[in-house]
Each structure stands twice: as C-alpha cells, then as structure tokens.
Amino acid sequence: MGLAIARRLGQAGHHVVLIDVLEQALDDAVQALVAEGLSAQAIRLDLADDAQIAALPSRLGDRFEALGVLVNNAAISPKHAGRRAAAAEVSLQEWERVVKINLTAPFRMIQTCLPPMRARRWGRIVNISSRAGRSPGGVAGAHYVTTKTGVLGMTRAFAKEVASAGITVNAVAPGRIETAMSAGSPPEVLAQVLQTIPVGRFGTPEEIGAMVAYLAGEEAGFVTGATFDINGGVLMI
C-alpha cells in the first residue's frame, strides 16, 4: 500500500520521500518510482527509535521546509502482532512493541512534521488505520486492534487542533487488500474471507492510493477529522 500511495502522490506532482526500516525493499521501491519518471527518495528510518524520528528534519534538509503532506502508513501487521492471540495472552513486551510502532510513531511523526505546515498555513496528514480499528474481529491481536483504534482518536484530536492553520487530518481504514501479506494466507482462509465481502473481491493497493491522493489534494480542504472505510462493504457505518 505504501508504494501505491507514493506512486499516486508522485503522479500528482509531489516529490515523495519513502521511509522504512527495510533498506533493500525501500531502495527497490524508490528505483521503481524513479524509473516511471517520478521524483522520489529513500530514507531508512527505524520508527521504534524516537531519536531517528527527531532527526528527520535535518536529514531532509531544505526539503523539510517544503513539506506539505504526511502519510502515516507504516505499522506492524496482524501477522507480526500476534494473529488470533487472546488479549489475556499478549505479553507486555509485544504490547509495547506494537504500541510504539503503530501509535506512538505516527503521533511523533505528526508532531515532527507540523512546523513547516503551520509556517505555510497548508498541510495534509493522512493516517492509515484498519477495519480492525473500527470493529474488532478475530484476525488481529488486542494490541493491533487497540493501536488502530487509537489512530482514529489521534486523527480527530489533531484535526481539531490544527484546522485553523489550514491543515487537515484524516484517516483511512482499509479492509482486506491484495498485498503480499494477504497472498500468504492459506487458500481456504482467503475463500472464507472473500465470502464476507459484499462486493465479492479484495481491495487493491491502488484504491487506497487513490483515496489518500484525494485527501492530500486541494479539493479535500473542507474534509478533516474523518475516517474513510475502504472494505468492500464488510463494515457499514
């Protein structure tokens, strides 16, 4: 999803900075975007290390002052966050690890990236949550559900505080999306999940990218504090 989001923003004319802890995957993604004629760069950054987040402005250099869009997409997935783990069985160590990456990191990224947006009186922040944050199911641990729910509250809190500065803050809550992680599920599990989706298919990363691109654009200036569910009708609120 991160690559699809970066591609759509790049196609909209943005210089995109991709951040990840996986250096090779990060470099491959940037090379793919550059090969398509888009403007992109990579910064390897461990979101679990607050000192590295704090150092982001200096690493971006002059580009930091032009920063106008922040997309918080990185997270520890359900697969790595204790899939189907009972809440009472989640260890404190695993709880703190997931909270640090999924909730504290986007909180700190917003704090870090707000100054240039305030200075320009324009900004767009999009937080990627999850359907699990809207209605807990059986596929994610309590720590994943809690953090993805927390992202929605954090979105509303920031949205109210920075609206007068010309900055919008919104969230996207994807359902089952066709990604490498989803493809790794057993066929019988995929078939079972598919039966629960009214539109009869999984979502695509490109559909997430399209929504983020809208929220990052001028046309979305009157949209803030909202959560957009992209789940094929699994959850209708």
* Active-site residue list: 144
CB 94 within 8 A of CB 81: yes
The DSSP 8-state label assigned to residue 208 in this structure reads H
Q: Contact at 8 Å (CB) between 174 and 210? A: no
Task: Give one DSSP letter per residue of 124-167, joined into a string.
Answer: EEEEE--GGGTS--SSS-HHHHHHHHHHHHHHHHHHHHHGGGTE
Give the Cα separation of 107 and 158 in Å (integer): 9
- DSSP state at residue 235: S
Q: From CA 16, how far away is CA 69, in angstroms rounded?
A: 9
